[in-house]
Amino acid sequence: MPKVTPKKIEEKIELTVNAWEQLAPAKSFGSMTLAQFKAVVAASTNARAQIDQLQNQLTQAINQREDADNVSLAKIQLVVNGVLADPTEGPDGSVYEAMGYTRKSERKSGLTTKKKQTPIPPKP
């Protein structure tokens, strides 16, 4: 049995209303007039409209957050640069470390020496 999704239900509502409006608007089906049927399915269509509106608001809020975050990151970089340039703090200061960075004195040099591998003697 195929899964009934919200999209398929929406399509069924639209098809039912359109067919009824175009082909038999004056008739009653299932003990309902077309107006009564529309009133019953209004809860479904109203909920869908509300979901669409909320999704649009969410998209807008996400875009606003991303724009604000870009401004915040630029200002953070200015502050960090200020800390690095400060003669009493600098790249080895506690403020720099508290901001989530590694103090210059605690950084590894990055240099590595490769160990010489001893060849494995063949088995006799």
pLDDT of residue 2: 74
77-123, pLDDT tens digit by residue?
Answer: 999 999 999 999 999 999 999 999 999 888 887 777 777 777 777 77
Residue range 48-63: mean pLDDT, rounded? 98
Q: In sequence order, what DSSP letters do the residues of 71-120 get, joined into one string?
A: HHHHHHHHHHHHHHH-SSSGGGSHHHHHTTPPPGGGS------PPPPPPP
Instruction: Tally DSSP H helices, then E strands, for the chain.
Output: 3, 0
Backbone dihedral angles phi then psi of residue 32, each to the nearest 5 degrees: -135, 145
Q: Evaluate if residue 61 carries a pLDDT over 90.
A: yes
**Residue 1's pLDDT is what?**
67
Alpha-carbon gap, residue 7 to 17, rounded angstroms: 16
pLDDT classification of 68: cutoffs 50, 70, 90: very high
Q: Phi and psi (nearest 5°) for 29? A: -135, 140
Q: Where are the domains of the chain?
A: 6-99
Q: pLDDT (tens digit, 9 = 90+) per residue, 112-123?
A: 777 777 777 777
Whether pTM exceeds 0.75 = no
Across the range 2-18, mean pLDDT stands at: 94
DSSP state of 63: H
Virtual CA dihedral for 95, 97, 101, 106, nearest 10 degrees? 140
